[in-house]
Amino acid sequence: EIVMTQSPATLSVSPGERAALSCRASQNVRSNLAWYQQKPGQAPRLLIYGASTRATGVPARFIGSGSGTDFILTINSLQSEDFAVYYCHQYTSGKTFGQGTKVEIK
Amino acid sequence: EVQLMESGGGLVQPGGSLRLSCAASGFTFSSSWMTWIRQAPGQGLEWVANVKQDGSVKYYRDSVRGRFIISRDNVENSVYLQMNSLRAEDTGVYFCVRDDASGYYEYWGQGTLVTVSS
């Protein structure tokens, strides 16, 4: 099974600042990597697929990058609605998720 | 508009059974793989099982294989998860999800809570 490791577990950021979330795969997943945002009591929301393609309706401040084993989700100029938990997900071999990064208000 | 609506969650004792249902609408159900994903309280996301468009192929995570059965009804546009021999570690919110052909998950239901406790 491909293990996905996200860091940090918690990221404290002030509104308007930039956040960079890391996701590392234990094997090469090529560009088969997605990012989701989840708020309390809600289902996850797809943000990025194919490592860097924004899903429909996702603001341009969300930027996905990377390929192979190392990926980054950058959120520029954090808005109040961006404080949430973010998960990465590989779909190259089986389906596995990272453990999540919580982005909280500093 | 794609909609996925789960039902059937609840409180069950260890060793008991529960059947989850997911009613789908807004897309061609018979053309999509369907998946169940769960989330234990305060924890991350865990893929549980999926089923091919015609129901002929099914996959399960190791910890539920032999206890859970995924099925679908392409006339009723529904997918099901029969959960038997339930354990405390099966507790969580179960999401019904439509598989995109590429493998990521764009459409999720709101989830149904399963609690396994005596």
- DSSP structure string for A8-77: -SEEEE-TTS-EEEEEEESS--TT-EEEEEE-TTS--EEEEETTTEEPTT--TTEEEEEETTEEEEEE-S
- Of the pLDDT bands very low, low, confident and very high (cuts 50, 70, 90), residue A92 is very high
Shortest CA gap B13–chain A (Å): 24
Q: Would you state the torsion angle of the CA atoms of residues A79, A51, B96, B67, taken in this order, to the nearest 10 degrees?
A: -130
Say if residue A3's pLDDT is above 90.
Answer: yes
> Are A46 and B110 an interchain contact pair (Cβ–Cβ within 8 Å)?
no
From first to last of its 118 residues, what are the pLDDT tens digits of chain B? 999 999 999 999 999 999 999 999 999 999 999 999 999 999 999 999 999 999 999 999 999 999 999 999 999 999 999 999 999 999 999 999 999 888 999 999 999 999 999 9
B42 to chain A: which residues are within 8 Å by CB? none
Q: Taking a C-beta distance cutoff of 8 angstroms, is the pair A2, A26 a contact? A: yes
> Are B105 and A36 an interchain contact pair (Cβ–Cβ within 8 Å)?
yes
Shortest CA gap A99–chain B (Å): 5
In B23-62, the residues whose Cβ lies within 8 Å of chain A are 35, 44-47, 50
Instruction: Give the tokens for residue A101.
Output: 């990064």
Instruction: Give the tokens for residue A66.
Output: 């990377």
- Asked if A68 reaches chain B (Cβ–Cβ under 8 Å), the answer is no
Closest CA to B39 of B100, B97, B101: B97
CA A19 from chain centre, in angstroms, equals: 11
Shortest CA gap A16–chain B (Å): 27
